[in-house]
Structure 1
Amino acid sequence: MSDQYQARDPEGIYFLTFTIVDWVDIFTRSSYKEIIINSLEYCQSNKGLKLYAYCFMTNHMHLIAAANGSLKLFEIIRDFKKFTNRAIIEEINSGNESRKKWLLNKFEFAGKYLTRIENYKVWQDGYHAVELISPEFTFQNINYIHQNPVTVRIVSEPEHYIYSSASNYCNLGGPIEIELLDFN
């Protein structure tokens, strides 16, 4: 992983991107998105994750987050990706996944030659962390995250996309509680 995109400041707020291997469209099913929601909530409650914004697209996700506790952000991310990797594979195996064979083959091949991977690799390495160093840059990144589903024409307004924090910023709530950033 490049040193350029690592979370170095333990008190910093970061724009993060996690991508599925080979950009596989796994998050087209709500069951996989629910795994992500539950895991993020667990990380908030038990690992010190501070979540300020998020958006789940079909093959990647964006967060604006920080660590607030004894764990560093990279440790929270490592645990999050390890757990969700396993949970997604379990869901593929136990659910009604029409692409089961193809997905398992894809994820097995991605981890085949890596000694640290037991069977399947769902996430690409790294997490592309960019520190948000000013209110303007932070606002720009939150806007980018919230506009993702509009840009690809999933919705016409950002707050209409359920798997995004745009609705939280419009005082409509959302599936994950976040800490709102104030730009005033």
Structure 2
Amino acid sequence: MSGNYKFRNQECLYFVTFSVVRWIDVFTRREYKDILVDSLKYCIENKGLELYAWVIMSNHVHLIIGTQGQPLENILRDIKRHTSKKLTAAISENMQESRRDWLLWFFEREGRQNPNNETYQFWQQGNHPIEIWSNQVTEQKLDYLHDYLHNNPVVAGWVDEPEHYLYSSARDYAGGKGLIDVILLI
């Protein structure tokens, strides 16, 4: 993370986005999205992650998060490290994955360009954290949450209503129960 995009105040909430390298559509299968869901649940239960909103799209993830435990940069580093390994292994072992060889080749090629990687690079570097530091910013992010974040799957043509998409917190904000326990911002 460089420039102004850092976790400066661990007591604030942050809007973060992280993307698959080169924006490759990987989250097209349920089992891949479930790996990310399981990792978020683990971090909530074991690392103090507070999750306020989330959505998994085909090639990126949006979260509104806070912490009552480990520093956010450490939690996100661990999520990305863990899911990178789990996802590349899942792709490698999935005989139904028509793009398996190409995806692994691509992640390996990207990994060679970054000396911090062991073999593959799955996620782009950085998380682009934006601090939610005031009620005005919170209201802006809530509007964003409703109009964009939760509406992403509708715009993509995957569902007719945001709460119909399983891999987001839209159900929670519509009064239902989603896959991950969230803390509502309203």
Structure 1 residue 6, shift from structure 2 partner: 1.6
Aligned partner of 2:131 in structure 1 is: 131
Give the match for residue 51 of structure 2: 51
Note the C-alpha offset of 1:169.
0.8
Q: Deviations over 1:126-157 (max 9, x none)?
A: 00111123231231232221011112221121
Gaps of 5+ in 2: none
Distance in 2 of aligned mates of 1:123 and 1:7: 19
What is the CA–CA distance in structure 1 between the aligned matches of 2:113 and 2:53, rounded to whole Å? 35
TM-score by length of 1: 0.95
- Cα shift at 1:113: 2.5
Count of paired positions: 181
How is 1:58-97 mapped onto 2 (pairs within 5 angstroms)? Answer: 58-69=58-69, 71-96=70-95, 97=97
Following superposition, which runs of at least 4 residues in structure 1 exceed 3 angstroms of deviation?
Answer: none
- Contact (CA 8 Å) 1:26, 1:32: kept in 2 or not? yes
| Partner of residue 153, structure 2 | 149
Please state whether the residue corresponding to 2:154 is helix, strand or coil.
Answer: helix
Give runs of aligned pairs for residues 96-111 of structure 1, distance below 5 A. Answer: 96=95, 97-111=97-111
Q: Partner of 1:4: helix, strand, or coil?
A: coil
Question: Which residue of structure 2 lines up, in the alignment, with residue 6 of structure 1?
Answer: 6
SS at match of 2:41: helix
* C-alpha separation in 2, matches of 1:43 and 1:142: 22
2:162 aligns to what? Answer: 158
The TM-score, its normalising length taken from structure 2, stands at 0.94
Paired letter, 2:16: L
CA–CA separation in structure 2 for the residues paired with 1:153 and 1:98: 23
SS at match of 2:119: coil
One-letter amino acid of the counterpart of residue 41, structure 1 = K
Percent of matched pairs sharing the same residue: 44
Q: Secondary structure at the match of 1:76?
A: helix
1:39 aligns to what?
39
Match of 1:121 in 2: 121
Question: How far has the Cα of 1:94 moved from its partner?
Answer: 1.2
Instruction: Give the unaligned 5+ runs of structure 1.
Output: none
Please tell me the residue identity of whatever aligns with 2:94.
G
Contact 1:55/1:146 (<8 A) preserved: yes
Residues 52, 63 of structure 1: 8 Å contact kept: yes
SS at match of 2:50: strand
SS of alignment partner, residue 151 of structure 2:
helix
Give the 3-state SS of the residue equivalent to 1:153 in structure 2. Answer: coil
